[in-house]
Chains A and B, each alone.
Chain A
């Protein structure tokens, strides 16, 4: 699971009003290099929830992102784009769990795949 996906996933358990962002329990983190796509990064920048991305990156062992929400002028910086690209697309949670911020329910992540299916009594 890429952090691009983590920034989208939200716990949708019945009764949960704020299921975002999911906590991360990282057992195994891997890196896989991906070609950089500046169009994509510029497009996603406004949609990313910055703090959750910074926090998730840190849990995954990457601390090079600016702490505060950067101004969109940073998109002109090649260096920023590289870091943003790396955090969003190249760091993978391979084994671990995602944790609902409201209920603590854990969604397992195995072989890089989060299982977000709910139990009968959660829908």
Chain B
């Protein structure tokens, strides 16, 4: 149905195969030799930055995080409601499970890498597994649909983000839908950005490696200088600039809706680049985003004492909270489309921006 490229075949049975096919793929891209090194270290082994600034943090803040995570995002509900009654829905990276059971005529199985969060889901009577979304321990084609809500932005390299998408497509049946949402660089509330800490070059080099992801972002387009594609910042004063961008995005989004001729992603990207290339100043995509764990909550979690002692978290007496940093790779406009643009076994059926998130819906085709 479309010309999307393969990246981890649909009947991927072993993890080794996945690495090989991705490695092959990367070699066709003009990229630095460092990239191969990065691939060789296995896409499925968790980088230190994710262990320390994602897994350990969520494990430590799980009860407090969960108590703040109850608002259900209408776009996710709309997606789930659109599925046939009696569907099996797989939620990869389910967190505290707020979407599990949202549609009572469907059956849900959730998974998350954080055992404390999975425990919270199970206590609420949900069916859950502790598992890694980059390497799902599921046989292929079992689910009718899959969702990945606010998960991919915690993966620190592009090949891991791609692999997680391959996994979502692999575990749904042919014709099954996959909804993916990620935090956008283009935050509606720009004051948030001031509260985030852009990762310094030191972190990017030490933790993420020069092969990814900032340097990687530009390579598929071979635009020459990498800064020409790294998402440029939107000046705080130019509210209209963002609106204009989003309107343009909506136009192009509605234009491609329903057309699954395989040209969707490439056309969209060309279009986005037109108005991204001209702006000045570089914005970041790699951030530490703070989580404030109030002292009265921290007492419940013994992990916090150790976290402060080891330097993972800091005490902020003014706010009366222990501050954890969570690693985020926030997505630029068109980035999700680019990640899926070569998939042979899936097509884009919708994509949109909503409440500071980029979202994409894929359909498995084979």
Residues of A within 8 A of B (CB): 1-2, 4-5, 7-20, 37-44, 47, 89, 111-118, 120, 123
Among A8, A14, A20, point to the contact of B109 (Cβ < 8 A). Answer: A8
Find the residue from A10, A20, A120, A123 having the highest chain B CB count within 10 A: A123
Q: What 5 A-B pairs have minimum CB-CB distances, sorted nearest first?
A: A39-B86, A40-B86, A116-B137, A123-B44, A115-B130
Is residue B84 contacting chain A, with contact meaning CB distance below 8 A? yes
Contact B131 A116 (CB under 8 A): yes
Residue in A closest to B122 when the chains form the complex, CB atoms: A113
Within 8 A of A (CB), among B23-64: 42, 44-45
A12 touches B137 (CB 8 A): yes
Q: Does B73 contact A (CB under 8 A)?
A: no
Assembly CA distance A64 to B287 (angstroms) = 55
With A113-B122, A123-B45 in contact, do A12 and B86 touch (Cβ < 8 Å)?
Answer: no
Further contacts, 13 of them, CB under 8 A, given A43-B88, A113-B128: A4-B109, A8-B139, A9-B129, A39-B84, A40-B85, A40-B88, A44-B86, A112-B122, A113-B115, A116-B132, A117-B130, A117-B131, A118-B132
Residue of chain A at shortest CB distance from B130: A115
Interface residues of B in 100-149 (CB under 8 A from A): 105-107, 109, 111, 113, 115, 118-119, 122, 127-132, 135-139, 141-144
Which residue of chain A has its CB nearest to the CB of B45?
A123
**Interfacial chain A residues near B44, Cβ < 8 Å:** 118, 123
Contact B130 A39 (CB under 8 A): no
Distance A23 CA – B15 CA, assembled complex (angstroms): 20
A37, A111, A115, A123: the one contacting B105 at CB < 8 Å is: A37
Residues of B within 8 A of A (CB): 13-16, 42, 44-45, 84-88, 105-107, 109, 111, 113, 115, 118-119, 122, 127-132, 135-139, 141-144, 173
In the complex, residue of chain B having the shortest beta-carbon distance to the beta carbon of A48: B142
Whether B105 lies near A39 (C-beta < 8 A) is yes
- Among A8, A14, A20, A39, residue most surrounded by chain B Cβ atoms (within 10 Å): A8
Which residues from chain A contact B127 at a C-beta distance below 8 Å? 1-2, 4-5
Instruction: Give the one of B111, B113, B128, B135 with max A CB within 10 A.
Output: B135
Decide: A12 and B16 in contact? CB cutoff 8 A.
no
Distance between Cα atoms of A38 and B127 in the complex (Å): 19
Inside 8 A of A113's CB, which chain B residues have their CB?
Answer: 115, 118-119, 122, 128-130
The answer to whether A118 touches B129, judged by C-beta atoms less than 8 angstroms apart, is no
The chain A residue with its CB closest to the CB of B173 is A47
Tell me which residues across on chain A come within 8 A of B143, comparing CB atoms: 8
Interface majority SS (helix, strand, loop, mixed), chain B: loop
Assembled-state Cα–Cα distance A2/B74 (Å): 29
- Contact yes or no, A43 B87, CB < 8 A: yes
Which chain A residues border B139 with CB–CB below 8 Å? Answer: 8-10, 20
Taking a contact as CB atoms under 8 Å apart, the answer to whether B109 and A114 are in contact is no
B15 touches A123 (CB 8 A): yes
Selected contact of A111 from candidates B122, B132, B138, CB within 8 Å: B122
Looking at the complex, which one of A1, A89, A117 makes contact with B113 (CB distance below 8 Å)?
A117
Say how far A73's CB is from chain B's closest CB, in angstroms. 19
Residues in A with CB closer than 8 Å to B107 are: 4, 37, 40, 89
What CA separation (Å) do A112 and B139 show in the bound complex? 20
Distance in angstroms between the alpha carbons of A86 and B113 in the assembled complex: 29
Of chain A, the residue at the smallest CB distance from B137 is A116
Q: Which residues of B contact A111 (CB under 8 A)?
A: 119, 122
Nearest neighbor of A13 in chain B, beta-carbon distance: B15
Contact partner, A8, options B130, B135, B138, Cβ 8 Å: B138
A117 to B115, CA, bound (A): 10
* Interfacial chain B residues near A19, Cβ < 8 Å: 137
Q: From the candidates A5, A15, A38, name the one contacting B14 in the complex (CB within 8 A).
A: A15
* Cβ of B17 to closest chain A Cβ, rounded Å: 9
A37 nearest CB neighbor, chain B only = B86
A2 CB contacts on chain B under 8 angstroms? 127
Give the complex CA separation of A39 and B83 in angstroms.
12
| Cβ–Cβ < 8 Å partners of A42 in chain B | 86
Give min CB distance, B11 to chain A, whole Å: 12
A41 to B87, CA, bound (A): 9
Residues of A within 8 A of B14 (CB): 12, 14-17
A114 and B135 in contact, given A16-B14, A40-B88, A123-B44 (Cβ under 8 angstroms)? no
